[in-house]
Amino acid sequence: MALRLEFLGTGTSQGVPVIGCRCAVCTSTDPYDKRLRSSVWITASDTRILIDAGPDLRQQLLRGGHDRLDAVLLTHEHMDHVAGIDELRAFNFTQRRAMDLFGQPRTLDAVRHMYHYAFSEVRYPGVPELNLRPIGTDTFHIGPVAVTPVEVMHEQLPVLGFRIGDLAYITDAKTIAPAARDRLRGLDVLVLNALRIDPHRSHLNLREALAVVEELAPRRAYFTHISHLMGRHDAASRNLPPGVQLAFDGLLVESDPAPFSVP
């Protein structure tokens, strides 16, 4: 199964540049220092999957020219990951069907509350049509594509990452339990959050993310959910080990893994 991943956004909850900030990153003219909120688009053969729908989703989809979508995976319910769900109604119109949203029951309850108008008995014309699909940690399928959730901890909040073939996407993690790490072994591509240089209470910093990569030993690793406190892209990239790089908005990654089984 050929896989193609597009980084729609690689920034943290405020994006980069941060409103009102005049630091060297936020005033940089380097396009790699412009980061929308974190999200990725995965194409698995003919299946198209969006992971997270943040507040920049419309801009991201127009930039990428995306006109068909099969399903959305939600990592958790924080606004930088769900504030763009209303934009999915564009696919309702063109595909003439409701959109499937997969997430933890807690996350889907939050979506139902935030977008209450989409679930009202009296439905206003044009509201998004959403099928909420609760998942746990068991492998499930989107069409022919097997998706394995990987639970990580965002401080005290359980957050889902996802493994598809030999590609895995983990964001907003601070700790990854041994059982979850077992689901992340033998990867071709690991996408992992790395917020900044200094420690943070609910996100991996650069040193911690590098330690996870060293242990799991994927063939390639890409860091995302990056804040302006990481420093400029060019400077922060210089000392990364081989096979590890900071992702940037619009980056395309391809993988052609063999069929896999989850431990």
Ordered by start, the domain boundaries in the chain are 3-247
The values of phi and psi at residue 168, to 5°, are -135, 145
pLDDT class of 242 with cuts at 50, 70, 90: very high
Whether residue 259 is predicted with pLDDT greater than 70 in this model: the reply is no
pLDDT in tens, 100-145: 999 999 999 999 999 999 999 887 889 999 999 999 999 999 999 9
What's the pLDDT tens digit per position in 21-57? 999 999 999 999 999 999 999 999 899 999 999 999 9
Confidence (pTM): 0.96
Residue 188 has pLDDT above 80, yes or no: yes
Q: What whole-number percentage of the chain has pLDDT above 90?
A: 94
Q: Is residue 262 predicted with pLDDT exceeding 60?
A: no
CATH number corresponding to 3-247: 3.60.15.10
Q: Is the pLDDT of residue 257 over 70?
A: no
Q: Does pLDDT of 263 surpass 80?
A: no
Condensed to tens digits (0 to 9), the pLDDT of residues 73-91 reads: 999 999 999 999 999 999 9
